[in-house]
């Protein structure tokens, strides 16, 4: 089963379209470029490992920034194109490409057995979807130089906020409740809220503050800490209204390249900022809830890898409004 899951996962990255989407995401790609090339002292004459290299863009940035050598790892067929790209740009002697799962790499080079820097674009929807970070952590513990070695990006955080989005609910849920080309599809309407949306929610109304509920330091975090449950608290702030409807909770993440950087770089996937290919994860409530100015929402949010398909992400949300509110729980799965 695991082999089948991974075969499909790595196969999905063999085509060009998914890489085109990522490269066209200027927030993402320029953040990596600006960090690597703006902090050349962290890369110059260093051995760098690029985990999940894809087209090799991060490896190319590192080589251009003066890296002594780059080890680029990917288990997808796209790595064959990455080799050609490196050759096209006169950098094939600076980059060694290894096709395989990061956990299965047995040796690097006769000239070095540890790396100075690990760089990876491992983030998925809701940050942890696809479970790529554990591979980065495995490589960190196996191949990174102790004490002086660094993983980038190093800091990431997850955030949650409340939104009033009746139009979004109508497009996602109510669509199935009406006549669909002459057929009833109410059975799907009852289940739509089990599947989080992945959409850019700019334009919908943010009606609470934002709460950071989880933070990761990639130089320190342990794999078992990536399955977690965290409390959150949100304060209602309907803009100019005494009451509005809470239709969904929305999560997003922030990324930072901070440790030892002379020019730290950060970016956000917030719904109030420039759209990225990750967009936001939308947790639609079973029913809209009236939210009054000054209301306080408390709850917990749990994220963990799905037991049957570990690259899928299970989300469990428990919340209530006010100290005496009725506690509600919803379960979701990103797959």
Say yes or no: 213 and 326 in one domain.
yes
pLDDT at 261: 98
Which of 121, 138, 165 represents a domain boundary (last residue)?
121
Whether residue 88 sits in one domain with residue 12? yes
Question: Is there a contact between 283 and 291 (Cβ–Cβ < 8 Å)?
Answer: no
Catalytic residue among 30, 37, 103, 130: 130
Look up 308 and say whether it is catalytic. Answer: no
Q: In this structure, what token pair is assigned to residue 156?
A: 């990431």
Do 30 and 165 lie in one domain? The reply is no
Q: Is the same domain home to 100 and 221?
A: no
- Which residues face 256 on adjacent strands? 155, 266
Residue 137, in any domain of the structure: no
Q: Which of 103, 121, 167, 195 is catalytic?
A: 121
Rounded to whole angstroms, how far apart are CA atoms 70 and 305? Answer: 31
Residues 96 and 8 in one domain: yes
Specify the CATH number for the domain of residue 51. Answer: 3.40.50.150
| pTM of this structure | 0.94
- Domain check: are 171 and 307 in the same one? yes
Whether 95 is covered by a domain: the verdict is yes
- Find, among 161, 267, 159, the residue nearest to 212 by Cα: 159
| Residue with the two structure tokens 């600006």 | 34
Residue 138 lies in a domain: no
What is the C-alpha separation between 306 and 14, in angstroms, rounded?
A: 24
User: Do 57 and 167 reside in the same domain of the chain?
Assistant: no
Q: What is the CATH number of the domain that holds 216?
A: 2.70.160.11
Dig out the tokens for 169 from the structure.
Answer: 């609910």
Residue 280 included in any domain: yes
Instruction: Give the pLDDT score at 238.
Output: 67
Alpha-carbon span 222 to 239, nearest angstrom? 41
Active site residue 130: yes
Angstrom distance (rounded) from CA 57 to CA 75: 16
Whole-angstrom distance, CA of residue 235 vs CA of residue 61: 42
Same domain for 162 and 99?
no
Q: List per-residue pLDDT tens for the chain, 335 residues long.
A: 444 446 565 556 556 788 899 999 999 999 999 999 999 999 999 999 999 999 999 999 999 999 999 999 999 999 999 999 999 999 999 999 999 999 999 888 878 889 999 999 999 999 999 989 999 999 999 999 999 999 999 999 999 999 999 999 999 988 898 789 999 999 998 888 889 999 999 999 999 999 999 999 999 999 999 999 999 999 998 676 788 999 999 999 999 999 999 999 999 999 999 999 999 999 999 999 999 989 999 999 999 999 999 899 999 999 999 999 999 999 999 99
Quick one: 315 and 193 in the same domain? yes
Q: 10 Å Cβ neighbour count for 112?
A: 14
Enumerate the H helices of 133-199 as residue ranges. Answer: 133-143, 166-172, 186-189
| For the chain, the helix, strand and coil percentages under 3-state DSSP, each to the nearest 5 | 25, 35, 35
For residues 66 and 40, the answer to whether their CB atoms sit within 8 Å is yes
Assigned domain for 205 exists: yes
Q: Are residues 66 and 179 in the same domain?
A: no
Alpha helix (H) residue ranges in 72-132:
78-88
- Do 111 and 160 lie in one domain? The reply is no
Which structural domain, as residue segments, surrounds residue 95?
A: 2-121
Same domain assignment for residues 14 and 92: yes
CA separation (Å) from 290 to 101, 139, 248? 48, 48, 12
Give the total number of structural domains in the chain: 2
Residue 139 lies in a domain: no
Q: What phi, psi does 268 have (nearest 5°)?
A: -130, 155
Helix (H) or strand (E) holding 170: helix 166-172
The CA radius of gyration of the chain, in Å to the nearest whole number, is 22
Contacts of 203 (CB under 8 A, 6+ apart): none
* 126 domain residue, yes or no: no
């Amino acid at each position: 089963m695991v082999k089948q899951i991974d075969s499909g996962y790595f196969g999905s990255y063999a085509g060009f379209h998914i890489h085109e989407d990522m490269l066209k995401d200027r927030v993402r790609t320029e953040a990596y470029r600006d960090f690597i090339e703006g902090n050349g002292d962290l890369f110059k004459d260093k051995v760098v490992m690029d985990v999940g290299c894809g087209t090799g863009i991060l490896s190319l940035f590192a080589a251009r920034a003066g890296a002594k050598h780059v080890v680029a790892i990917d288990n997808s067929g796209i790595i064959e194109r990455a080799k050609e790209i490196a050759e096209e740009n006169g950098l094939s002697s600076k980059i060694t490409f290894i096709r395989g799962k990061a956990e299965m790499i047995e040796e690097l080079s006769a000239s070095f057995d540890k790396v100075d820097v690990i760089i990876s674009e491992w983030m998925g929807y809701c940050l942890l979807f696809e479970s790529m970070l554990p591979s980065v952590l495995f490589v960190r513990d196996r191949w990174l130089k102790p004490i002086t070695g660094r993983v980038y990006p190093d800091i990431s955080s997850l955030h949650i906020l409340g939104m009033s989005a009746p139009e979004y609910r109508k497009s996602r849920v109510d669509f199935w409740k009406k006549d669909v080309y002459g057929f009833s599809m109410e059975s799907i309407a009852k289940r739509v809220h089990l599947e989080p949306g992945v959409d850019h929610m700019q334009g919908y109304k943010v009606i609470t503050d934002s709460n950071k509920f989880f933070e990761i330091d990639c130089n320190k975090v342990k794999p078992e800490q990536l399955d977690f449950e965290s409390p959150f608290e949100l304060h209602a702030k309907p803009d100019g209204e005494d009451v509005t409807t809470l239709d969904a909770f929305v999560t997003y993440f922030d990324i930072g390249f901070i440790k030892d950087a002379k020019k730290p770089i950060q970016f956000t996937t917030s719904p109030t900022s420039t759209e990225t290919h990750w967009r936001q994860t939308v947790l639609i409530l079973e029913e809209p809830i009236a939210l009054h100015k000054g209301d306080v929402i408390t709850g917990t949010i749990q994220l963990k890898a799905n037991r049957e398909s570990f690259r899928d992400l299970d989300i469990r949300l428990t919340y209530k409004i006010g100290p005496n509110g009725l506690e509600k729980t919803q379960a979701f799965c990103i797959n």
